[in-house]
Amino acid sequence: MPQNGPLLEDVDVVTAADPVCQPVADLRSVTPKHEATGTAWASLGAGDGAGGGSVVLTSYPEGGAKAWMSELRAAVSTCKDFVASSERGWKDRGTLKVSPTDGIGDESLGFSTVSAEDPGKGQAMTIVRTDGSLAVYLTSSEGEPIPAALMKTQHERLREARK
């Protein structure tokens, strides 16, 4: 379901304790290093109401999406213990783990975070780059993953929209 309100508020400034991890923290921050020129987001759910997640589509100036993907790839491979905090007041601690993405889009990256406080909880994220846009898919690690077919279809739609 498409959302009308803003995705993030002014207090959603997220900072990683280790600067190497900042590209990952920027995915949840209102002030990322790479500022989007456009953003749309939607909640995702199965027809029966089970599961759920979200997708955030962002477009960037020339080279921005590709640069952020490169920085994310380096951060996820280097930053294993992730600690971030928000001006809203929350703090998140966890471990990052790379997950397969089946070569979706121009390039893609998948990873999960496992909560340090509750190892049974976490989030799974897949980022798909299509030209100068990123699609960020987020689900809880306990839920069903976003189907690869859905992400491939979104990639093709973005590609067609750019023609």
The string of DSSP letters for 43-54 reads EE--TTS-S-EE
Note every long-range contact of 88-95, with CB atoms under 8 Å and residues 24 or more positions apart, other chains counting.
88/9, 88/11, 88/12, 93/117, 94/122
In a domain, 2, yes or no: no
Overall number of domains in the chain: 1
The pair of structure tokens assigned to 91 is 């703090």
- What value does the mean pLDDT of the chain take? 85
Q: At 58, which helix (H) or strand (E)?
A: strand 53-59
In a domain, 89, yes or no: yes
Domain of residue 54, CATH code: 3.40.1000.70
pLDDT in tens, 28-40: 888 889 989 988 8
Could you tell me the pLDDT band of residue 109, with boundaries at 50, 70 and 90?
very high
In a domain, 9, yes or no: no
In a domain, 77, yes or no: yes
Domain hosting residue 42, numbered range = 14-161
Question: What's the pTM value of the predicted model, to 2 decimals?
Answer: 0.86
H helical segments located in the chain: 22-26, 64-78, 148-161
